[in-house]
Amino acid sequence: MTPWLVALLLVALLLPATTTHATPGVNERFQEYYTQHQGMRILGYPLTDLTYADGHPAQYFEKGRLEDHRGAVVDPTWAFMYGRLTVELMERDPDGPVNAMGITYAALAHAAQPRWQQAPPAGFTGGTMPISTGMFVPYDAQLQPAPGHVVPMRFWNYINRADLFPGGWLHDIGLPLTAATTVETYKNGELREITYQAFERIVLTYDPQNPAAWQVERGNIGQDALRTWSPPAVSAAIELPQPDAPVTLPLHLQATIWGGQPGEQVTATLRWQDGTHFSQSFTLLRGKLGGGLAIGNLSWLSPGDPPPTQPATLELRSAGGNILARQPVRVLGPDDPNTAEVTIYWLHPSNEEVVPHTQRVVKTPAIGTAALNELLWGPPRTQIGFRTALPTPEEVLNYPGNRPDWGPRVTLRSLTIEDGVATADFSQEMRAYGGGSLRVRMIRQQITQTLLQFPTVDTVIIAVEGETEGVLQP
């Protein structure tokens, strides 16, 4: 070994080891809200990837937790909320320090006891009321007359800044839990007097030695929350349908259940705004990335028609009844002019003939694509006994030739129609059909008959990953 190589190896051995840690980014479902609400100042950097809090998609940041409540509320102003971390930390981590101020969450809990609340000022009839020491706020969610706390004007002016808290102080900050208190604590190596006040969703601090624009700050209680936080043992990520997407019935569901096991049951409930709801159980399949996969059609099986068009919530629960995830959707009623009727061909229960059935889809200029996408999801449970020859998710996932880059189901890559010739190009998962001349014939018939309903189609060509030669061979 040459001397220079020996020296290079010695230098490498003496250098300190380094570890690269991936920094989570703002999850895409929160990105727009974070950007529009000065997220860097109000929340700081994200500390976790997407997780769940009481069934709501959530993400932890330095100064708080952002939650997506679109699946549980009607009022859009409450679609996104900051988590009630102060209240949670009082219960979960009483011995933990508050924002390194030398006090604990147990001390905050003590200061938040009702006996320390101030009686309403004389003549108070509700809402808020200015007094000599600040603004009196009752401890009541509707701001009805009740004992409460005084918020000093430096804090009151801060939480009423529309540029920082456009949802309003009650939505973004919450009710004051304690009176404002001044403590002496070391900061940057020097003793300082800092005033703090706890609210439901934040702890505010005032440090007169900070630059003027930063004298009032939100405490880093998101960091505090991570001392006792751990990802839920079982949670879910609903991949389909997308949040707030317009959908028709049957509703197509695809969700990964982290911590779920193949063979376990989860229950999907669709709940309309008017209170109408129905539930259906799904047996988990083996997920590609671990956990379980809930995939299939959520079908209306009740007598009569489903409700007219309105917002609804798709909710997933474990076998024990715990909420795993929620997703807001807009369910289009059967008479909605934004829907269209298509014919889908399924296999007859008692023979190998293809039989037409009508279903409603969201109206689109690409109506042929919409019809094929319905075909790929398989027959709804309303059509008892009918089958499909196309590979099902279970067949795709268990197929011996399944590769790491395969998804859990067959999808349509593209549909082109030129001079009466329709070319339907399917994803590689179509190869999980397993062979057999009869099955190949049935697959071709289902696809061809579904496309021939459209007057612009005379001939159908089937492709897989862009290839037309040698596909769907017995």
Give per-residue pLDDT as tens, 107-136: 999 999 999 999 999 999 999 999 999 999
> How high is the pLDDT of residue 130?
96
Nearest CA to 44 out of 211, 301, 181, 220 is that of: 220
The 10s digit of each residue's pLDDT in 129-165 is 999 999 999 999 999 999 999 999 999 999 999 999 9
Residue 408: is the preceding peptide bond cis (ω within 30°)? Answer: no
pLDDT at 19 over 50: no
235-330: in CATH 1.10.10: no
pLDDT at 20: 35
Beta bridge partners of 217: 205
In 3D space, the residue among 126, 135, 117 whose CA is nearest the CA of residue 178 turns out to be 117
Q: Both tokens of residue 196?
A: 């703090």
The structure's pTM equals: 0.62
Q: Identify residue 401 by its one-letter amino acid code.
A: G
Domain residue spans of the chain: 84-225, 235-330, 339-464
Give the per-residue pLDDT at 79. 87
User: Side chain identity at 221, as an amino acid letter?
Assistant: I
* pLDDT score recorded for residue 321: 87
437-452 vs 367-376: helix crossing angle, rounded to 10: 150
The 3-state DSSP class for residue 15 equals coil
For 19, the token pair is 């570890």
Q: How far is CA 270 from CA 305, 315, 419, in A?
A: 15, 6, 42
Please determine, for residue 90, whether its predicted confidence score (pLDDT) is greater than 80. yes
Rounded to 5 degrees, what are φ and ψ at 101?
-100, 0
Which tokens is 69 given?
């409540």
User: How is residue 292 written in tokens?
Assistant: 């379980």
DSSP 339-385: EEEEEEEEE-SSSS-EEEEEEEEE--S-HHHHHHHHHHT---TTSTT
Question: Are the beta carbons of 421 and 382 closer than 8 angstroms?
Answer: no
Residue 60 bridge partners (DSSP): 65
Across the range 372-377, mean pLDDT stands at 98
What's the half-sphere exposure (Cβ side, CA atoms, 13 Å) at 289?
Answer: 8
pLDDT bin (cut points 50, 70, 90) of residue 466 is very high
Report phi then psi at 249, rounded to 5.
-100, 140
Distances (CA, A) of 233 to 79, 229, 259, 291, 465: 25, 12, 6, 11, 38
pLDDT in tens, 332-341: 999 999 999 9
Rounded to the nearest integer, the mean pLDDT of the chain is 89
Candidate ranges 6-10, 66-70, 200-204; pick with highest mean pLDDT: 200-204
Give the residue from 14, 224, 280 showing the smallest Cα distance to 103. Answer: 224
- Whether pLDDT at 23 is above 70: no
* Residue of 81, 71, 76 whose CA lies nearest to 272: 71
CA distance 187 to 207: 10
pLDDT at 4 (0 to 100): 34
Residue 111 makes CB contacts below 8 A (sequence gap 6+) with 177, 178, 179, 181, 198
| Amino acid (one-letter) located at 306 | P
Cα dihedral 150, 153, 159, 160 sign:
positive
- Return the pLDDT at 16: 35
The pLDDT-based confidence of 289 (bands split at 50, 70, 90) is low
